[in-house]
Chains A and B, each alone.
Chain A
Amino acid sequence: MIFEAKNIHKSYHNHVALKDVSLSVEKQSIFGLLGPNGAGKTSLIRIVNQITGPDSGEILINGEKLSPKHIEQIGYLPEERGLYKKMQIGEQAMYLAQLKGMSKHDAKRELLQWFEKFEIGNWWNKKVEELSKGMAQKVQFITTVLHKPQILILDEPFSGFDPINANLIKSEIMKLKEDGTTIFLSTHNMGSVEEICDNIALINSSKKVLDGKVSDIKKDFSKNMYEVDFKGNMIGFANALWTNYELVEKLSFDNENHRATVKILGNNTLNNLLSSLITENIELKQVNEIIPTMSEIFIEVVNTNNELNRKN
């Protein structure tokens, strides 16, 4: 494990930000840190960045207790990010790189490469105030990853990018992962979580309420529901189902073509469902399993959890 957080507790003078949060993250993976606004994600990120310290609990990097020397091994792209408006981009990127401990020479060499890669080589002497928001975001991304950190913390890295540049950033993130970087991705964009995250943790009201592999979580949350497209008669379809199935939703495209959403109850399988549907009156066209999106899982977990908190 490259990163472990053990029983982190953090409270500010009037509220608890993190309550007994434990996480572990494998090397060379993308870890999604999810949660509603104000759940405690930023508090956790600030602790990892050593901007603040936990009240109790500890953070281990490669098994070692988090200490100031780790600052140079971490790259952080905050959600609310900015640059000095009146400073030239090259100069500014050099400054930020040197603050991360890079030598002047290394910083310049790496920067030139990245500027080349992002096709912004001719921006070196431009001032930030002359750039669009998306352009500035590119520079910020570069300054975050420039010092080749082992751990990269990206808070909403895609916000402010057009789809083309968002893809560019996405592929760079994947490349960084292939090169061995471990990436924390904090975002509300569930699409990108599904696309690139290997594991996630969901934090709600300062507690971790869900974590695991994305694929496992999705399996766990699937409701055993299928979408069946068929030609025939809706009443006949409903009659063909036993009590072991539940017809959740009906949709008719015309007199003959229909779509039904069916939930399989008990220990029955898709095979059982299909065999009961294959009758003279029904011509099956297409059957798809309904897999919950991360967004649906997010909403479900958070709502259930909030309900629970309210009751207690």
Chain B
Amino acid sequence: MNKTSLIIKREYLTRVKKKSFILMTVLGPVLFAGFFAAIVLLAMPKEENYEILVVDETTLMYEGMELILNTEKAKRIRDNKAREEENQVDVEGLLHFHEANSSYASAIKEFQKEDGKYDYLVYLPSNLIDMADNKANLVYKKAPNSPTETKITSLINEAREALLMEKEGVDRTKYDKIKTKVGLTPIASNNLDESGNPIENKAEFKIAAYAGFGFSIIIVMFILTFGMQVMRGVIEEKTNRIIEVIISSVKPFQIMMGKIVGVGLVGLTQFLFWIILTGILVTVITPFLGLDSSPEAMAQMSSTDMESMVNSGKSEMLQTIFSLPWLPLISSFLVYFLGGYLLYSALYAAIGAAVDSETDTQQFLVPVMIPLMLGLYVAQFSVMTNPEGPAMFWLSMIPLTSPVVMLIRIAMESVELWEVLLSIAILALTFVGTTWVGARIYKTGILMYGKKVTYKEMFKWIRYKS
């Protein structure tokens, strides 16, 4: 058997057989899903009752609010303009208003009592209705969650609106008509039929961009994780001196490449398992969420059911995610992961060879991490401000950041084929370059002990004749 493939095999098998790898591979998707679910759950308001003391100096609004709580209008608030999360909260059951028949100052005393039953104190100053000052106070013991705060605010506003409309004699239906807001739908010019409607319902590009951004984070995570594994492997071989034994049978370049390829395959294995497990998780879990994720259902939803879709932000997002260009995304993920990994892991191997222990690596690791972090940061910023601007173009060409940024552009479908090919070509050329540089540093470094290595020293090693 070829010696390099022996090394690849060892590097691969020892890592894949590790308990931590198996655990991470199996639990990874579960952890991600759990993490995501935990965030959603934690952010979701609990079904709690709130006792609210109201100091109403206007003497009108308390009545209005109570009225709204008990009328059809309350429903209207929630359906029409309130946010998604409000749908989940039963307003009637949750907010209990109590009118304080005293001044603000004495209500505060009442509120602050240790065994006081009130959660919030709402202060409505007398000038609230006349617009002299539109600030009311919400005094709390524990800061209110955002849906509750929004709800109380909209109740106050609704009450004020209703009172003013009555006072000024404004017709409700007219008012509602005026207040209706216009939504803007961005459509790419090449996605229009003759009558000016979108041909296919393409992913809304901001959501697509964020999905692509998710891939960028995974790539950065993989490059960092597995690059570090390469580095640790090199340091391990150097510090326990097995390298001295191996190097008398195999060329340093073979050892380095064997390690890089072996660890890279570990990364691909993990990614593959994650894809499969996530697929399984999605198919198992979606029925519980009451969603139909089968392609037919999705297709149906995206073509005919648009009207009802728009009503729910959640389904829109799901639908966008399902309509992402998955095949190009996953295949280019693999290409850019491999390219980026090969580029960076050669540098990691060189760092590992240059130092005597992991504690010495810091000064060399920072410059390697900066382009990755910069890529992520600038990409995130550009997606929000100018997703098709020059920053995104150049970052997707520069090989140190292209693995991070290009996937976002591919997800947004805002990239020409030649750009992708050019960026891949630059990436490939660069990783050949970093591998060459890495190998030169590696070759000298692994046999060098007890020496504090500097950048100057490393540059010397690169220039050594072989």
Contacts and interface: CB of A to CB of B under 8 A. Distances in A.
Interface of A: 13, 46, 49-51, 71, 74, 76-78, 80-87, 95-96, 98-101, 104, 140, 143-144
A143 B240 contact: no
Nearest to A155: B244
B391 to A, nearest CB: 43
Given A13-B460, A86-B14, A96 B246 contact: yes
B370 to A, nearest CB: 30
Given A99-B3, A99-B246, A78 B10 contact: no
16 contacts: A46-B447, A49-B247, A49-B248, A51-B247, A76-B248, A77-B245, A82-B244, A84-B14, A84-B237, A85-B236, A86-B14, A99-B6, A99-B250, A100-B249, A101-B249, A104-B1
Contacts of A86: 14
A9 to B, nearest CB: 15
A150 to B, nearest CB: 14
B463 to A, nearest CB: 10
Given A50-B248, A101-B249, 4 more contacts: A76-B244, A84-B237, A99-B6, A100-B249
Interface string B6-45: 1100100010000000000000000000000000000000
A98 B245 contact: no
Contact of A87 (B14, B246, B464): B14
Contacts of A81: 241-242, 244-245
A77 B460 CA distance: 30
Interface of B: 1, 3, 6-7, 10, 14, 236-237, 239-242, 244-250, 447, 449, 460, 464
A254 B240 CA distance: 56
Given A51-B447, A99-B3, A82 B240 contact: yes
B460 A80 contact: no
A263 B419 CA distance: 91
Nearest to A80: B241
Nearest to B13: A91
Contacts of B242: 81-84
Contacts of B464: 13
Given A51-B447, A99-B6, A99-B249, A80 B244 contact: yes
A85 B237 CA distance: 10
Contact of A98 (B6, B239, B449): B6
Contacts of A84: 14, 236-237, 240, 242
A134 to B, nearest CB: 16
Contacts of A76: 244-245, 248
Nearest to B1: A98
A171 B244 CA distance: 25
Q: Which 6 A-B pairs have the closest CB atoms?
A: A82-B240, A78-B244, A82-B241, A49-B248, A80-B241, A76-B248
Contacts of B240: 82-85
Contacts of B250: 99
Given A84-B236, A99-B250, A143 B245 contact: yes
Contacts of A101: 249
Given A87-B14, A95-B6, A78 B245 contact: yes
Contacts of B239: 82
Which of A80, A87, A96, A99 has the most chain B CB within a 10 Å cutoff? Answer: A99
Nearest to A103: B1
A140 B241 CA distance: 12
A84 B464 CA distance: 30
A100 B6 CA distance: 11
A51 B248 CA distance: 6
A78 B241 contact: yes
Contacts of B1: 98, 104
